[in-house]
Amino acid sequence: MPRFAANLTMLFNERPFLDRFTAAADAGFEAVEFLFPYDHSPQQVADMLHGCGLTQALFNLPPGDWAAGERGIAGLPGREQEFQDSVGLALDYAKALNCKTLHVMSGICPPDADRAHYLETYAGNLRFAAEMLGKEGITVVVESLNSRDVPNYLIPRPADARQVINAAGAGNLGLQFDFYHVQIMGGDLSRSFEANLDLIRHIQIAGVPERHEPTVGEINYGYLFALIDRLGYDGWIGCEYKPRTDTLTGLSWLQQVGAQ
């Protein structure tokens, strides 16, 4: 059975962020991920993580002005210096948390913009991040986000992620494969996963269409977990979903798929 990491942005949010580490450990998780740690100091987050005996599987670089709708700045022409500064900030947290995988969000490409220019900017910034973070043994990942939840996101499909990873050309770049986003953008999950296995460095899951527990909705995760095992993926799988009720009640899905 694959190894699951609790996404502390979405799970256990009945509690303040720093209290969610204890909740995840008490629920049996051995690893966590989250979107952003930057509201707290690296030491505060590290104290909770290590105090609970947890592994930090993943977090994101700063996304720009999230409240204003920005979803990453790495693909935005003219923001290169801001992006480079954000890599240094993320590295401070990664060192404190001993986190070896960081996600770099591309950002929104307006419909009337030159998409090729945005992709070129993203590839260049990924190359910069991969070189800087690679010195610390860190893998940089690209994730495709579906166009229903994030309209005009620069990287809506795994094929777009593969294209920009190849363009950046760094050995420590990989793919973050989220079954939720891939299903919404066309499905064919088993074949898409297998076709991209050579680049996949992190996985995330949620039910479709409403992003609840994995056993709620149209995706057969029992089948997919068996496939993941058979194909030899041994990384973490982030549980990035919105509980229908409270987190602990919803975690009964782990028993349903035989993970507990």
Which sequence positions are flagged as catalytic? 143, 240
Beta-bridge partner residues of 31? 5, 55
Torsion of CA 156, 151, 222, 258, to 10 degrees: 110
Q: DSSP letters along 162-198, please?
A: HHHHHHH--TTEEEEEEHHHHHHTT--HHHHHHHTTT
Contacts of 187 (CB under 8 A, 6+ apart): none
| Type of residue numbered 239 | C
122: amino acid identity, one letter? Y
- The number of beta carbons lying within 10 Å of the beta carbon of residue 148 is 11
- Contact of 3 with 237, CB cutoff 8 Å: yes
Cα of 120 vs its chain's centroid, Å: 22
Q: What whole-number distance in Å separates Cα of residue 138 and Cα of residue 55?
A: 14
Query: Are the beta carbons of 126 and 89 closer than 8 angstroms?
Result: no
Q: Is 214 exposed, middle or buried (0-12, 13-18, 19+ CB in 10 A)?
A: buried
**Are the C-beta atoms of residues 216 and 207 closer than 8 Å to each other?**
yes
